[in-house]
Structure formats: structure tokens, C-alpha cells
Amino acid sequence: MKQIIIHNVSVELEKKRIKNMYLRILPPDGRVHISAPMKMREDEIIHFVEGKLEWIRYHQDKISRRPTHQQLQYMDGDSIFIWGRNYRLHLKEAISRGKIEVIGDEVILYCKKDSTSEQREKQMNQWYKKSLEAEIPFLIARYEQIIKVQSNSYNIRDMKTRWGTCNTRTKNICLNLQLAKKAPHCLEYVVVHELVHLLERSHNAVFKSYMDHFLPEWRKIKKELNGAE
């Protein structure tokens, strides 16, 4: 992979056996990645990027302003999200194994007095995972019947750049732990998205037509999930 600088913008350039060029702004740092056809000249790529500079900087700024779970210290009074709702975190000392309660607009995290932010984050993430595990099997079973596909298994991981993945060979679906912070329909969208990949591997017109059929509001939910205005 080659690195080029265009008007002070660092661009990752990857040549592939593809027909068209693709530009992506990747979280969490807003890096610019271009996939281009093998035979495309570099001056054509530079000209393309120059025409997109305003768009690139706009989306890099949006990503830089987007809060990430790595920045959260899980301190008393912090704002955290559960299923799309904002809660105030309240820490309480726990002598034994900690627990988490949601009361009103507060999330009460019982932890040891000398716990670190990393330990509190781990405790919260375990709770997020259990919350997802209570919802995912129902959603998968429901949409497997609707879409007429069958997955083999699912797992939950804290992923940096993807909300979900689908291995079409093993039929295993992987879902992002961070979905527990989003509105429930966002989890529904990602589940449908990954199951549809069992019908169509690519994000082409066929894939989009399936999405239109099985979840008509998917474009609106996708924008919400990715923080688009």
C-alpha cells in the first residue's frame, strides 16, 4: 500500500483488480483510503482527490468530533448511552463483585473504591454484551425466517471500523459490542444487513434491492448509525 500527500492530506493508495475507484474516510482517526484499478494513473487519482478535498475535510472533522468509547473514563457523572438513550453514570462502592443497575436516568455501577477506568470499562462492556445477547438470537431467528436463510452462529466483538461482518463460507455473523449503545433499530439493521449477505456477498444493486425489500428504512437507519446529518 502506497502513501501519497495531496494538499497536506495523507492518502492510503491501494491498487486492486477492480473496475472503479473507491474513496473512504475511516474511523477512528479519519484516515483517507483509496482503492483504485491496477492500471489507473496516479495523476488521475490525484485529480480525483483534489476534487473531493472539501468533502474529505468535512467528514474528517465529523469523525474527529464524534465521541468514542476509548475516550470515556467511566467516572462519576459521565454521560453514557444504552440503546440510544443518554444516562448519567453514578459510581457506588462495592465490596464484593460489582453489578450494574439502571434506575431512571442513571446507570449505577458498583465497583471497588480503587478500581481503574479500564476495569470499569470492562465491567460496563460485559453488561453491554449481556444486553446484546438478550436481543440478538430473537432478531436473527426472526429475519432468518423472513429472508429464508440460515446462519450457523454469531459472536460479539468490540470492533473499531465495522458494525458487523458475515463470513459467507462459515455462515458466522459477528456484531459490534458498541451496538448496545445505539437505538434498537440500529441493531436490527445490522442483523438484516449481515443475513442478506448470505444471499448476496457484494454491496451491489442486488444487495440493495434485497435490503429495500426486507427493511425499507435501512438507508435512514444506516445514516443514523454512522452519525450522518
Q: What is the per-residue pLDDT across 86-137, written as a single tens digit (0 to 9) for each?
A: 899 999 988 767 789 999 889 999 998 888 999 999 999 999 999 999 999 9
Contact 13, 21 (CB under 8 A): no
- Residue 132 DSSP SS3: helix
Q: Enter the C-alpha cell of residue 70.
A: 476509548
The per-residue pLDDT for 30 is 80
Domain boundaries, given as residue ranges, for the chain? 2-65, 79-127, 136-225
What does pTM read for this prediction?
0.69
Q: How far is CA 108 from CA 23, 116, 124, in A?
A: 42, 16, 10
Q: In whole angstroms, what is the distance from residue 90 CA to residue 74 CA? A: 9
Domain 136-225 has CATH 3.30.2010.10: yes
Give the mean pLDDT of the chain: 89
Contact 11, 49 (CB under 8 A): yes
Nearest to 16 by CA among 43, 57, 45, 48: 45
Q: In whole angstroms, what is the distance from residue 80 CA to residue 108 CA? A: 11
Q: In whole angstroms, what is the distance from residue 110 CA to residue 97 CA? A: 8
CA dihedral 202, 206, 211, 213 (to 10 degrees): -160
Nearest to 141 by CA among 99, 91, 191: 191
The per-residue pLDDT for 114 is 86
State yes or no: pLDDT of 45 exceeds 60.
yes
Beta pairing partners, 103 = 106
Q: In whole angstroms, what is the distance from residue 189 CA to residue 116 CA? A: 34
